[in-house]
Structure 1
Amino acid sequence: MNMGKDLPVGTVDGTFYRAIDPKYKGFAIAGSRSPGRYSRKDEPTLYLSSSIEGVGAAMIAHKDARSAAFEIIEIEVQAPGIVDFRNPDALDRAGIDVSDAIAPWQDVVASGGTPSSWLVRDRLLAAGANGLIDPSRKRPGLWHLVLFRWNEANAPTVRVVRNVPTEGR
Structure 2
Amino acid sequence: MTLPRSKLVGAVYRAHHPRWAFDPVSGEGAARHGGRFNPLGTPALYTALRPETAWLEAQQGFAFKAQPLTLCSYDVDCADLLDLTDPATLSALAVAPADLACAWEDLADRGQVPPTWTLARRLIAQGAAGVIVPSFAHRAQSEDRNVVFWRWGAAPPHQVRVVDDFQRLPRDDSSWR
**TM-score where L is the length of structure 1:** 0.83
| CA-atom RMSD in angstroms | 2.4
Q: Identity over the aligned pairs, expressed in percent?
A: 26
Describe the shift of the 1:121–1:62 C-alpha distance in structure 2 as closer, same or farther (beyond 3 A): farther
For 1:109, the aligned partner's letter is: A
Supply the distance in 2 between the matched residues of 1:125 and 1:155 (Cα, whole angstroms): 16
Question: Is the Cα–Cα contact under 8 Å of residues 100 and 120 in structure 1 kept in the other structure?
Answer: no
Give the match for residue 139 of structure 1. 141
The Cα shift of 1:128 comes to: 1.6
Supply the distance in 1 between the matched residues of 2:79 and 2:73 (Cα, whole angstroms): 19
For 1:16, the aligned partner's letter is: V
Supply the distance in 1 between the matched residues of 2:53 and 2:155 (Cα, whole angstroms): 29
For 2:8, the aligned partner's letter is: V
What is the number of residues matched between the two proteins?
Answer: 158
Which shifted more, 41-50 or 146-155?
146-155
Supply the distance in 1 between the matched residues of 2:93 and 2:155 (Cα, whole angstroms): 24
Give the match for residue 151 of structure 1. 153
Give the match for residue 96 of structure 2. 97
Question: Is the Cα–Cα contact under 8 Å of residues 101 and 120 in structure 1 kept in the other structure?
Answer: no
**TM-score where L is the length of structure 2:** 0.79
Which shifted more, 68-77 or 10-19?
68-77
The Cα shift of 1:7 comes to: 0.6
For 2:7, the aligned partner's letter is: T
SS in 2 for 1:79: strand
The Cα shift of 1:95 comes to: 2.6
Q: Out of 24, 28, 32, which is 1:28 matched to?
A: 24
Question: Is the Cα–Cα contact under 8 Å of residues 75 and 161 in structure 2 kept in the other structure?
Answer: yes
SS in 2 for 1:162: coil
For 1:48, the aligned partner's letter is: T
SS in 1 for 2:164: strand
The Cα shift of 1:40 comes to: 2.0
Report whether the alignment pairs 1:56 with 2:55.
yes
Unaligned segments of structure 2, at least 5 residues: 166-177
Give the match for residue 116 of structure 1. 115
For 1:158, the aligned partner's letter is: V
Question: Is the Cα–Cα contact under 8 Å of residues 16 and 58 in structure 2 kept in the other structure?
Answer: no
Describe the shift of the 1:88–1:95 C-alpha distance in structure 2 as closer, same or farther (beyond 3 A): same
Supply the distance in 2 between the matched residues of 1:94 and 1:111 (Cα, whole angstroms): 26
The Cα shift of 1:130 comes to: 1.0
Unaligned segments of structure 1, at least 5 residues: 164-169
The Cα shift of 1:27 comes to: 1.7
SS in 2 for 1:27: coil
Question: Is the Cα–Cα contact under 8 Å of residues 107 and 114 in structure 2 kept in the other structure?
Answer: yes
For 1:19, the aligned partner's letter is: A
SS in 2 for 1:92: helix
